[in-house]
Structure 1
Amino acid sequence: MSFRPRRTALYMPGSNARALEKARNLNVDVLLLDLEDSVALDQKEMARDQVVEAVKAGGFGHREVVIRINGMNTPWGEADLLAAASAKPDAIAVPKVDCAEDVYVVGRKLNDAGVDQAVRIWAMMETPGAMIRAAEIAGAVQEYHGRRLSCFVLGTNDLSKETRTAMVPGRAPMMPWLMQCLAAARMSDLTILDGVFNQFNDAEGFVAECEQGAQMGMDGKTIIHPKQIEDCNRIFSPSAEEIASCRTIIDAFDAPENQSKNVMTINGKMVERLHAEMARRVVEIADAIAKRDEQKS
């Protein structure tokens, strides 16, 4: 499939062997196997070995497997990167990316180690520098050592800590930064995943933030608990009504008699050809999700 759904990306602590085993059966698009924030200092090396062993063993099915390493400026970063690369995950998530050079450093090390280009880089966008330099970081894909970059992951908890911005319902204080990162991601055709919602027992609040992220244009959301999976998958999937409307638009513009038309009235609404292109993406997403669901059954 040309489109890969990334609606729901679940963080799993690398130090928890039971969680890593359970991950193979969860209905998520992405598994973020974590060596950073969720792992205690005295468990870093154990978690690294455990995650690498789990990824090498496979069995994750359709799920995209991403290893989040510790920062390259920490005592564990370099070893994490090389160990993670040896496991050949789909991607390596790099925390606290502050500028394009941070992407190049990781890309250089992967290239020098002969790591397959299929192993991508996901940039954690969670510092004031990342917010200011989002476009520069996204532009790293234009350079040889930055070509692996494929996704922005918003780290809203760290961003709140670093900027002293309050985490409030609606996220108004953060909205300019979130939209700036989204625009930068779209500029370079990167996926962008929204940050976590911490109150995993607040289902209503979680649904509201998922709906906000989807309306903003996020491709999906990072989550911290399995109970958040179902709502996240649903909200970041096109609805049956939306899919049907998009197919109607596509069929209208694809009709031989309408090939020269750039604007039409469909069901009482003015629709331009650009809307047909938008509709094709929605249908592509829906078809990819349907194909994935078939693989699960």
Structure 2
Amino acid sequence: MTMRPLRPRRSVLYVPATNAKALAKIATLSCDAVVIDLEDAVAPSQKVEAREAACRFIAARGAGMKETVLRINALSTEWGRDDLRAAREASPDAVLLPKVDGPRDVLDADRLLDRGDTECWLWAMIETPRAMLNLGAIAELGRDNAARLACLVAGTNDLVKDTGVLATPDRRYLVPWLMQMVLAARAGGLDVLDGVSNDFRNLDAFAAECREGANMGFDGKTLIHPAQIDPANAAFSPGEDAVFEAEAIRAAFALPENRDAGVISLGGKMVERLHLEQAERLLAKAEAK
């Protein structure tokens, strides 16, 4: 595999593979990425039909299409391996693996993809108690490009279901786990996406949840309705003041007298090389929009 491309992932919309009208509208939407879903949104009787429709759509997408990800069924199900073989032929930008329990699930998918020439990356749903316990080992695969892992996705609905934790509007009982996902993703050099908000009609509450996710360090949010795209894009886009400050830091360290400096003074503040790294990452995201 080549190096992981830097992509904006502020807004990532789930689209059922069986919804032809929704698939047809994807090109007109302002989300950064779409996940064509073969798992939760598809009834067992429609799994094969959905797989065929998704792969036709992916294979026919034009140049310049937004990042397109295929969520397959878990490899432990009767459909999972056939889903992954089909993805190998259609070559989406990434495959989203549901019900990941540990690094072995990612490595098994990687081996199946290695039998083809696809440059497809892997995303991992973190939605089971075992995934939380194995989070560090899963994220560590991000340090090896050969493992294909590029992104972690919070599966908050399944975590609530499997643990019995109370899903409050402020997500107080989920926040510790969400913060662990961010920490693990950064340790592995991965992107990480916040989980969905089920109440797509309450956009004020959704916007607040997006701002909370951005403050926690998430790169973006997974969505279930197009109405959620604009609030997510706004919350996860770097603000003008942050971009201005990052540009100033980059310019200051680029000066001949500062190129080898570990710390400099800028605007009355001490600025270290770690701040330059943060600035470069923010600017890369801002420029990739």
Return the TM-score normalized by structure 2. Answer: 0.93
- C-alpha distance in 2, partners of 1:107/1:45? 22
Aligned residue pairs total 286
CA separation of 1:4 and 1:172: change in aligned 2, threshold 3 A: same
Q: Is the CA contact 1:24–1:59 (under 8 Å) kept in the aligned structure 2?
A: no
Alpha-carbon deviations, 1:148-204, whole Å to 9, x = none?
111111110011101111221221211221111221111111111110011111111
What's the secondary structure of 1:172's corresponding residue?
coil
Match of 2:60 in 1: 57
Matched residue type, 2:33: V
CA separation of 1:246 and 1:140: change in aligned 2, threshold 3 A: closer
- C-alpha distance in 2, partners of 1:60/1:17? 20
Match of 2:183 in 1: 183
Please state how far the C-alpha of 1:141 moved relative to its aligned partner. Answer: 4.3
Match of 1:247 in 2: 247
Matched residue type, 1:32: V
Please state how far the C-alpha of 1:103 moved relative to its aligned partner. Answer: 1.0
Q: Is the CA contact 2:143–2:189 (under 8 Å) kept in the aligned structure 1?
A: no
Match of 1:35 in 2: 38
Q: Is the CA contact 2:123–2:152 (under 8 Å) kept in the aligned structure 1?
A: yes
Alpha-carbon deviations, 1:105-153, whole Å to 9, x = none?
1112222x3242x111111110000001001112234678x61111111
Does residue 138 of structure 1 match 2:139? yes
Matched residue type, 2:288: A
> Once structures 1 and 2 are overlaid, which stretch shifts more, 167-176 or 16-25?
167-176
Match of 2:77 among 74, 77, 80: 74
Q: Is the CA contact 1:29–1:62 (under 8 Å) kept in the aligned structure 2?
A: no
CA separation of 1:261 and 1:56: change in aligned 2, threshold 3 A: closer
- In structure 1, list runs of 5 or more residues that go unmatched: 290-297
CA separation of 1:142 and 1:203: change in aligned 2, threshold 3 A: closer
Q: Is the CA contact 1:72–1:78 (under 8 Å) kept in the aligned structure 2?
A: yes
Match of 1:293 in 2: none
Alpha-carbon deviations, 1:195-238, whole Å to 9, x = none?
00111111111111111111111111100100111111111111
Matched residue type, 1:149: L
- C-alpha distance in 2, partners of 1:272/1:84? 44
Matches within 5 A, 1:271-286: 271-286=271-286
Q: Is the CA contact 2:27–2:65 (under 8 Å) kept in the aligned structure 1?
A: no
- C-alpha distance in 2, partners of 1:149/1:45? 26
Instruction: Please list every run of at least 4 consecutive aligned residues from structure 1 whose deviation after the TM superposition is greater than 4 angstroms.
Output: 141-144
Match of 1:129 in 2: 130
Q: Is the CA contact 2:88–2:116 (under 8 Å) kept in the aligned structure 1?
A: no
CA separation of 1:228 and 1:139: change in aligned 2, threshold 3 A: same
Match of 1:114 in 2: 116
Matched residue type, 2:244: A
Match of 1:170 in 2: 170
- C-alpha distance in 1, partners of 2:268/2:123? 43
- In structure 2, list runs of 5 or more residues that go unmatched: none
Matched residue type, 1:37: D
Match of 1:8 in 2: 11
- Give the alignment's Cα RMSD to 1 decimal: 1.8
- C-alpha distance in 2, partners of 1:119/1:268? 46
Matches within 5 A, 1:144-293: 147-289=147-289
